[in-house]
Amino acid sequence: MKKNIYDVFEAHFPENTDATFIETDDGSQYSYAFLAEESARLARFLTDAGITKGDRVAVQVDKSAEVIFLYLACLRAGFVYLPLNTAYTESELSYFLENAQPSAVICRPPSEAFFHTRKNTQLIQVFTLACDGHSGSLVENSRSSEAEFETVASDADDLAVILYTSGTTGRPKGAMITHGNLAANGLALQAAWQWQQQDVLLHALPIFHIHGLFVACHNVLLGGSKMLFVNKFDTKTMLQLLPKSTVMMGVPTFYTRLLDDKDFNQDVCRNIRLFISGSAPLLEQTFNDFKTRSGHTILERYGMTETGMNTSNPVTGERLAGTVGLPLPGVSTRIVDENNQPLAGGVGALQVKGANVFKGYWNMPEKTAEEFTDDGYFMTGDLAELTPQGYIRIVGRNKDMIITGGYNVYPKEIELLLDEVKGIKESAVIGLPHKDFGEAVTAVVVVEPGQTIATDDAIIAELKQQLASYKAPKKIIVVPELERNAMGKVQKNRLREQYFKLYNS
Ligand code: AMP
């Protein structure tokens, strides 16, 4: 690929560029023609402000259509787009600035003063963008710039985006994602999910993460289709917009929240052709309940910041609950033992290879080398196994695996059984330090509203009928809810910190 990813998008725009690209919840419509014009204007403005190809542009702003035009402008100009979670604090931001050394920052107006104090020889420009997407110095100052810009030629290997990974261990690492990575993965998904111009995507995800930015927006751009842009998930708004949509992408929490609303039914989903879930495991229970209520079989897919999407359940063909489907075209996957040898069966470490896999961690060559095998596979850190049909089932994160009395325990196996226990709504199984066992299997559970659960001993006895004793939890902790991050992932590291001394106080 000798092309800037923007050129690839442009080649897929609808013939009639007056067609809507984004419709926001205040009813504003932005056409493909406007996208081309506004991204050109912003690319021209930022280039004239002294930002050059390869420079990082850090962006910490609220979701609005303008952010997507800014993202596209950065791609067109060859800048490296660096989206930052709006929840990051000043101390976290200081780390990102230090590590990524951006040349420009686009931030919310209240953060402007902070970023100005961080200006240095590298960071030369700070602009603001308000949550409405219409005000702030970026929009105001760029208004007088010509909407003319020739998209910069980029190689497949040129950086397009740096995305910091959640960093549950150690400091966050900046994943370097290239124009070639984005094109390979975008085109593979567009074909796999049969994206078309008539499609209307209901987009309620954050746009500082691969799910909302790449998976969602790139499919729309490559389909030449439209998206309904909602700033954040709100069940009532979703219920209003679902009948106007053909595809919804969400984290599993979106699906459980829809199910919690009595007004969610088949009629609301009458125009939907695809419900897609990812970023965190979708419970089989949710998959089944959703099918019963809506008549739709959720399509679950699996990916990560470093790789984009790796596997997907099929659009035509069987979608299996609790699995993430088959490798996407162009992606090789394998499940290996601790010596990187492919396993004939059972649980092992999942590794992937393909044009979708990132270039490495920004300024961390050693860390990058550690995560790749000699034959070029990326170690995802996820544990997986194959179902009899050859579908991949994610069993958990490597670091979440519990070693108790020398035995390996995969939390997912116990969580699935706990979720079936009467009165338990959901669960997270963690390992906590224990002087005899090394780690003790511990369950943290949420009880269904208005229900009670049996005693710990009774639940543990029930589990032991189906599990080897060493896998059964030693204790069960009841919490009002499981803390999740913006992408719906249960924050197991927080639980481990909180209950660190449970057995060894
Ligand atoms: P992130 O880089 O923040 O997107 O996180 C990627 C991680 O999310 C993966 O390595 C998995 O552990 C998890 N993940 C993503 N999609 C799924 C899925 N469908 N099922 C289970 N885990 C998932």
Q: What residue ranges line ligand 1, CB within 6 angstroms? A: 165-166, 210, 278-281, 300, 302, 304-305, 324, 380, 382, 394, 397, 487
Distance CA(281)–CA(394), nearest Å, equals: 8
Instruction: Quote the DSSP letter at residue 305.
Output: T
State the distance from the centre of ligand 1 to the C-alpha of 82, rounded, in angstroms.
Answer: 20
257, 233 contact by CB (below 8 A)? yes
Nearest atom in ligand 1 to the alpha carbon of residue 397 is 12
CATH of the domain at 480: 3.30.300.30
Domain membership of residue 290 (yes or no) is no
Nearest atom in ligand 1 to the alpha carbon of residue 305 is 2
Mutate-to-test residue for ligand 1 from 173, 176, 279, highest number of ligand atoms within 8 A of CB = 279
pLDDT tens for each residue of 22-69:
999 899 999 999 999 999 999 999 999 999 999 999 999 999 999 999
Q: Whose CA is nearest to atom 5 of ligand 1?
A: 304
The pTM assigned to this predicted structure is 0.88
Q: Whose CA is nearest to atom 16 of ligand 1?
A: 279
What per-residue confidence (pLDDT) applies to 439? 87
State the distance from the centre of ligand 1 to the C-alpha of 79, rounded, in angstroms.
Answer: 27
State the distance from the centre of ligand 1 to the C-alpha of 303, rounded, in angstroms.
Answer: 6
Domain membership of residue 199 (yes or no) is no
Domain membership of residue 1 (yes or no) is no
CB-based burial label for 492 (10 Å; 0-12, 13-18, 19+): buried
Q: Whose CA is nearest to atom 9 of ligand 1?
A: 304
Which regions in the chain score pLDDT beneath 50?
1, 168-169
State the distance from the centre of ligand 1 to the C-alpha of 490, rounded, in angstroms.
Answer: 11
Mutate-to-test residue for ligand 1 from 249, 333, 382, highest number of ligand atoms within 8 A of CB = 382
**Which domain range does residue 490 map to?**
402-498
State the distance from the centre of ligand 1 to the C-alpha of 326, rounded, in angstroms.
Answer: 15
State the distance from the centre of ligand 1 to the C-alpha of 12, rounded, in angstroms.
Answer: 29
Instruction: Quote the DSSP letter at residue 422.
Output: T
Domain count, the chain: 1
Domain membership of residue 11 (yes or no) is no
Mutate-to-test residue for ligand 1 from 213, 214, 253, 394, highest number of ligand atoms within 8 A of CB = 394
- Cross-strand bridge partners of residue 174: 164
Question: Alpha carbon of 459 to those of 402, 423, 456: distances in Å?
Answer: 20, 11, 5
Q: Are strands 274-277 and 20-24 parallel, antiparallel or unpaired?
A: unpaired
Domain membership of residue 145 (yes or no) is no
For the record, the structure tokens of 255 come out as 């699906």
- DSSP assignment string, 323-379: ---EEPTTEEEEEE-TTSPBPSSS-EEEEEEETTS--EETT-HHHHHHHB-TTS-EE
Domain membership of residue 147 (yes or no) is no
What per-residue confidence (pLDDT) applies to 168? 45
Half-sphere exposure of 197 (CA within 13 A, CB side): 11
Mutate-to-test residue for ligand 1 from 302, 400, 492, highest number of ligand atoms within 8 A of CB = 302
Domain membership of residue 28 (yes or no) is no
Q: Whose CA is nearest to atom 4 of ligand 1?
A: 304
pLDDT tens for each residue of 219-268:
999 999 999 999 989 999 999 999 999 999 999 889 999 999 999 999 99
